[in-house]
Structure 1
Amino acid sequence: MAVLVTGGAGYIGSHMVWALIDAGEDVVVIDRLTTGFRWAVAPEARFYEGDIADRELLSTIFRENTIDSIIHFAGSIVVPESVADPLAYYENNTVRSRALIAAAVEAGIPHFVFSSTAAVYGTPDSADPVREGAALRPESPYGSSKLMTEIMLRDTAAAHDLTYSVLRYFNVAGADPRGRTGQSTAGATHLIKVASEAALGKRDGMVVFGTDYDTRDGTCIRDYIHVSDLAAAHLNALQRMRAGEGSIVANCGYGRGFSVLEVLDQVKAVSGRDFAVRIAGRRPGDAVSIVADPSVARSALGWTPKHDDLAFIVRTALDWEDHLGKRNMR
């Protein structure tokens, strides 16, 4: 049996493909290469270039491969961009996901892992770590588009032979410790990626959006999870479903948060380099503070993170950024 990874040439998807290959899985990838890279896909995986809403292409993939599971990463992820162009996000994240789910049901594929987000919660009512039962109040079209897909999966699973795992990511960062892949998209907005570029002189500094939030230093607080730990959570979710367990929703984070300024201090300390930091106003759609309660992932998925250390996350991000610089020079 094979696993179909959508968006498998992208940042998180490419790490997932490597994790599956390392685990001895047969892997198929579909990616339209809008933000992903063909070279980022493990050579052992079978690759199809195209859109997840292309039913003819999906039919070909299902005919040529024995797929028992889909891990769905394909989607747009930039919160301010979603505020500026909400219809594009509903089209890419929700409408196309609906097409993929329909194709899975038609093909009789029983297992579906969905890449969701902590943005479905919005700003929580308290500073306590967020549990899966917290109120779902997304503050951006990005968060809403992901929540709509969660609802579609829930309702589809109630009507058809489909088991799903929804993993709500907190802030994903870092790169493969073995240096095989990392965040490579030009113009990426992830904080640690941007700060790493600034530390290595690829940017003339960076901007902090908002220093007047009700937090310990006035900047937003997030729970940063290493991308390899996140991939491991997906693998555990897949194995759980194959063992006959039911559908699940689980947070993926470490349960502790860092402010924007604390992250920048860590990047400067690990890199040993200073860089300019400019202050600007708040961005639309940014939640104030959100930290995961990962109890469900740890207990139900049997997930034990290996890289719960901000310095390690930053080090792998810097190493990958340095590798990209050398790669682009060749």
Structure 2
Amino acid sequence: MFLVTGGAGFIGSNLVAALSARGEEVMVCDRLRDGPKWRNIAEAVIAGVLPPEDLPRWLEGAPKLRAVFHLGAVSATTVTDGDLVAASNLNLTLHLWDWCARHRVPLIYASSAATYGDGAQGFDDDADPRALARLRPLNLYGWSKHATDRRIVQMLGAGGAAPPQWAGLKFFNVYGPGEAHKGRMASVVLHKWRQVAAGEPATLFASDRPDIEDGGQLRDFVHVEDCVAAMLWLAENPRVSGLFNIGTGRARSFADLARAIYAARQQPPDIRYIPMPEDLRGKYQYFTEARMDRLLGAGFDRPPLSLEEGVARYVRQLDAGEVPA
């Protein structure tokens, strides 16, 4: 059996679907609440849905787990409740680390590209404590993921107990099916598709930096299918451990993304630029690009979907009503 925390969420539900399609037993740990989130796991065969507050007790009597995929987190980059974020993103991950070390179960957990802050120190998934110490996340969410990575690396350096395999995954800008419940934190692809499908222009943030043109902000946009492929590969290769970027390795502009949506719908582009919101000024990443050397060097060789291919696939599903929008 596999345990997937956050298993009804965006990345988690796609992983649950892939594991279920392989005939694996999967326990989902998540809160469904009263929204449409349950639809993300509606077609998967699962062993159950476990509320997060019941997780510690369930683990003590759990069947033998093949791996724990810890993807659950408070993931909004605008959240301000430090106690909630520390409990959910830092403390719970370290608890699972200890449990997996004691029970000899692999642990694959979600870190984030938000740990890189403004990118001034680059995007190298280097687990050396000195390299990690140089990173400066821009928000509470990024700090919580960075604090987790640093603590794990510190424990390893001190010779502490560790799971037989561990991987902290620094996901970049993920898009694809299963994100409709995320509200403001859904991908730019989904937000722009909604505008275009409603007959409105696609709006993008204007640049507030003189050296970057409007729409020229660059991100590493990665389809959720590529994220799942990397996680499944890691589960199949238990000798591989470390911090790993999960992206395409190629930054693309927001204008490119908007044009890809219009191209997928065979419409001429209609892009308008709006001022950057006050709560994002000074906290906005203008460039992200995953260095993929370490994961590729470990043997992962699946080429990622291009932005145009991934967006076109997603847009076709949204247009056809095949995935929640």
**Which interval holds the TM-score relative to the shorter structure?**
0.7 to 0.9
Quote the residue 1:248 is aligned against.
242
Q: Give the partner amino acid of 1:139.
A: L
Amino acid in structure 1 at the alignment position of 2:298? A
The answer to whether the aligner puts 1:113 opposite 2:108 as a matched pair is yes
The one-character-per-residue Cα deviations of 1:26-85 (angstroms, maximum 9, x if unpaired) are 32221112577233225322122301674223335x1xx321310111012222x23x44
1:109, distance to aligned residue in structure 2 (A): 3.8
- Give the TM-score, by structure 2 length: 0.83
Deviation at 1:295, TM superposition (A): 1.3
Aligned to 1:56: 57
Give the one of 229, 233, 237 matched to 1:236.
233
Q: Is the 8 A contact 2:234 2:240 kept in 1?
A: no
Q: 1:215 aligns to what SS in structure 2?
A: coil
For CA contacts below 8 A with separation 6 or more, give which structure has more relative contact order: 1
Secondary structure, aligned partner of 2:180: coil
Matched residue, 1:73: 71
CA distance in 2, matches of 1:326, 1:141: 31
Are the counterparts in 1 of residues 240 and 298 from structure 2 also a CA contact under 8 Å?
Answer: no
Shift of 1:8: 1.0
Conserved in 2, the CA contact under 8 Å of 1:208 and 1:278? yes
Q: Spell out, residue by residue over 1:223-245, the C-alpha distance to the aligned partner (whole angstroms, 9 max, x if none).
A: 1111111111111112222xxx2
Cα deviation code 1:206-263 (max 9, x no counterpart): 653341234354642101111111111111112222xxx2521111111211122221
324 and 218 in structure 1: CA distance in 2 versus 1, 3 angstrom threshold: closer
**Could you tell me which of 174, 188, 199 is aligned with 2:176?**
174
Residue 52 of structure 2 aligns to a residue whose secondary structure is coil
Q: Bigger shift: 297-306 or 210-219? A: 210-219
What is the deviation of 1:205?
A: 5.3
**Which residue of the partner structure matches residue 122 of structure 1?**
117
**Deviation per residue, 1:190-217 (Å, 9 max, x gap):** 1111111112219x55653341234354
8 Å contact kept, 1:117–1:169: yes
Does the aligned pair in 1 maintain the 2:97–2:162 contact within 8 Å?
no
Counterparts of residues 1-330 of structure 1 (less than 5 Å):
2-33=1-32, 37-41=37-41, 42-51=43-52, 54-60=55-61, 62=62, 65-79=63-77, 81-82=78-79, 84-106=80-102, 108-125=103-120, 130-133=123-126, 135-157=134-156, 158-162=159-163, 163-175=165-177, 182-185=178-181, 187-189=183-185, 190-201=187-198, 207-213=203-209, 214-215=211-212, 217=214, 219-241=216-238, 245=239, 247-273=241-267, 277-282=272-277, 283-284=280-281, 285-307=283-305, 309-324=306-321
- TM-score, structure 1 normalization: 0.82
Alignment-derived partner of residue 179 in structure 1? none
- Contact map agreement 1:167 1:249 (CA 8 A) in 2: yes
| Matched position secondary structure for 1:167 | strand
What amino acid does structure 1 have at the position aligned with 2:292? Answer: P
3-state SS of 1:249 partner:
strand
Return the alpha-carbon distance in structure 2 between the equivalents of residues 326 and 110 of structure 1.
33
Percentage of identical aligned residues: 24
Q: Distance in 2 between matches of 1:49 and 1:118?
A: 28
Query: Within 1, Cα distance between the matches of 2:202 and 2:25?
Result: 41
Structure-2 separation of matches of 1:325 and 1:228: 16
Checking the alignment, whether the CA contact within 8 Å between 2:204 and 2:215 is kept in structure 1 is no
Shift of 1:293: 1.2
Measured in 1, the distance between the counterparts of 2:137 and 2:143 equals 6
